[in-house]
Amino acid sequence: DVKVTQSSRYLVKRTGEKVFLECVQDMDHENMFWYRQDPGLGLRLIYFSYDVKMKEKGDIPEGYSVSREKKERFSLILESASTNQTSMYLCAITPGGSYNEQFFGPGTRLTVL
Amino acid sequence: AQSVTQLDSQVPVFEEAPVELRCNYSSSVSVYLFWYVQYPNQGLQLLLKYLSGSTLVKGINGFEAEFNKSQTSFHLRKPSVHISDTAEYFCAVSDLAGNQFYFGTGTSLTVIP
């Protein structure tokens, strides 16, 4: 079974704080993605990565950065959190091979006060 | 690039009634098509997918979807819904390499007892 875990289910931070959201997969999959989900807007792609130390901007990268030092871990970083970054953050992987779909983690609901 | 339109943001339906959730997509290349379900405060789970072959696809929990290439649609149906089907449903497309996924804005299905 493909398993994707995220470091926190709920997180509350203050404006201006640096925030790290971690995503870990349990197998040697290459493609990893970070989305944010907001009501009425669906899922919007922030960043994705096809391999270690590789990253590509998605549709809404502003205010975010990512890090992928090891294949199994893909981190989303909010350099200076703002209230408009309050959202649900979802990590996903695309295993490839016989799998064509994305597998999602449980999500992190971030509130920035 | 691809895009996905989910025509209904909210669908209320009585228990044991049939339901159809509509999805249209646009793409200049061949795509794979997916429906995902999201229960409250959880990640997305795959309901079903269309890759090729028969245009009628059956998924989990009694759901099915029909791919219509001429109308560029992939509507989701269930002949008799249950309370437990109350959730958010997302339609998605990907290119054949699975490198990019595009999601609709979601349809909130509420099953009324």
pLDDT of B46: 95
Alpha-carbon distance of B48 to B89, in angstroms, equals: 11
Mutate which: B51, B101, B102, vs A, most A CBs within 10 A: B101
CA distance B6 to chain A (A): 10
CB contact under 8 A, A42 and B106: yes
Q: Report yes or no: A25 and A68 within 8 Å, Cβ to Cβ.
A: no
CB contact under 8 A, A42 and B43: no
CB contact under 8 A, A107 and B46: no
The position carrying tokens 């109350």 is: B86
* Partners of residue A9 in chain B, C-beta under 8 Å: 41
pLDDT single digits (tens) B94-110: 988 777 899 999 999 99
**Cβ–Cβ contact A97 with B under 8 A:** no
Alpha-carbon distance of B85 to B72, in angstroms, equals: 26
pLDDT of B100: 84
Q: Which of B82, B9, B2 is nearest to A40 (CA)?
A: B9
Burial grade of A34 (CB within 10 A; 0-12, 13-18, 19 or more): buried
Which residue in chain B has the smallest CA separation from A6? B43
pLDDT single digits (tens) A19-46: 999 999 987 778 999 999 998 899 999 9
pLDDT of A64: 98
pLDDT single digits (tens) A75-112: 999 999 999 999 999 999 988 777 788 999 999 999 99
Mean pLDDT of B67-85: 96
Q: Would you state the structure tokens that stand for residue A41, as one six-digit string?
A: 């807007």
**Angle at the Cα of A80 (from A79 to A81), degrees rounded to 5?**
115
Q: Which helix (H) or strand (E) holds B107?
A: strand B107-112
CB contact under 8 A, A31 and B90: no
* Partners of residue B103 in chain A, C-beta under 8 Å: 35, 42-43
Q: DSSP secondary-structure letter at B99?
A: S
Hey, which residues does B50 pair with through a beta bridge? B33
User: How are beta strands A10-13 and A108-112 bridged, if at all?
Assistant: parallel
Alpha-carbon distance of B12 to A103, in angstroms, equals: 28
Q: Report yes or no: B53 and B40 within 8 Å, Cβ to Cβ.
A: no
* Partners of residue A35 in chain B, C-beta under 8 Å: 103
Alpha-carbon distance of A16 to A83, in angstroms, equals: 9
The separation between the first and the last C-alpha atoms of chain B, rounded to the nearest angstrom, is 41
B72, pLDDT greater than 90: yes
